[in-house]
A and B are shown apart, each in its own frame.
Chain A
């Protein structure tokens, strides 16, 4: 129990910090998107994207798909070293859906161009209940790691 509460505290702290950088935020109803970024990929074949969806509302929602004019986007969970594609991910009431390196990530396949640091990739997040949210995801360095406050 103790461990899980520490984990939660860390996550919350990270979210607060991320929410502070408003370069990429989008929102719809009770949902806000923050901390979005794409590490500059090696090639256009494959890229990962990360962001946090926060739900301030009392009803849960689900992320059902992510689309982009720049390429195909799918949702993935990581378990150990294995990735698994999933069709939807929950956004709990008064909670968050977190995509971060080593865990959940957006996967971009066959992009039209290789995203370079300083550019942005626009995606649209589709939810079961809330209206779609458009997010401009900034491309960061290949080794970029968001500051999580520790």
Chain B
């Protein structure tokens, strides 16, 4: 499972590089190796050789106030995840895993860590809905909502592909899409330098958070 996840993360990272290369007119589609993880490693973290720039994202927080991601999280260890509250499985599991690991840090370090949940379903996830949901997980977590195309564009800069909420053609039910990675940003460089896939556990985050808070490689 782990190995598969690494491969997926590497693919996504490579895809992102390919996408960002489009702007420069470079058509090269040769695979780009960006993952410094050794093969066969059992680590949950994938350390990127080419870190992501923090998205220039201004949205609305759970209090209904303007939240400028770069300004609010400058120089702070930050985890970002794209998900939605009507998600039964992976979104609450991912956020709860981080919440449980965070509670094992000393209080001062807990206060340093910023965990940002950006909704992929802004129509249903109003500031109030997001706030209610996150309060059930960790009261310090930041929840952001706003214009979907803005959210989608910023996710894309992190190699995370999301689609707008839509009605399933067969069942007529509402379908939303969550991201598959948590991106950790360094307090030293403000760059997104570590990825965690869906199968990262509480233990993985518990082991890695003290290092991420210092901007070190897990």
Contacts and interface: CB of A to CB of B under 8 A. Distances in A.
B19 interface: no
Interface string A37-60: 001011101111000000000000
Interface residues on A, range: 20 to 34
Interface stretch (A24-32, A90-98, A99-107, A127-135): A99-107
B179 A142 contact: no
A80 interface: yes
Contact of B132 (A43, A80, A85, A108): A43
A40 to B, nearest CB: 9
Interface in B196-214: 198-199, 201-202
B55 interface: no
A19 to B, nearest CB: 20
Nearest to B42: A150
Contacts of A78: 89-90
Interface of A: 10, 39, 41-43, 45-48, 74, 76, 78, 80-85, 87, 101-102, 105, 107-108, 142-143, 145
Given A81-B90, A85-B175, A101-B93, 13 more contacts: A10-B1, A42-B133, A43-B132, A43-B136, A46-B88, A48-B88, A48-B89, A74-B173, A81-B162, A81-B180, A102-B89, A107-B88, A142-B137
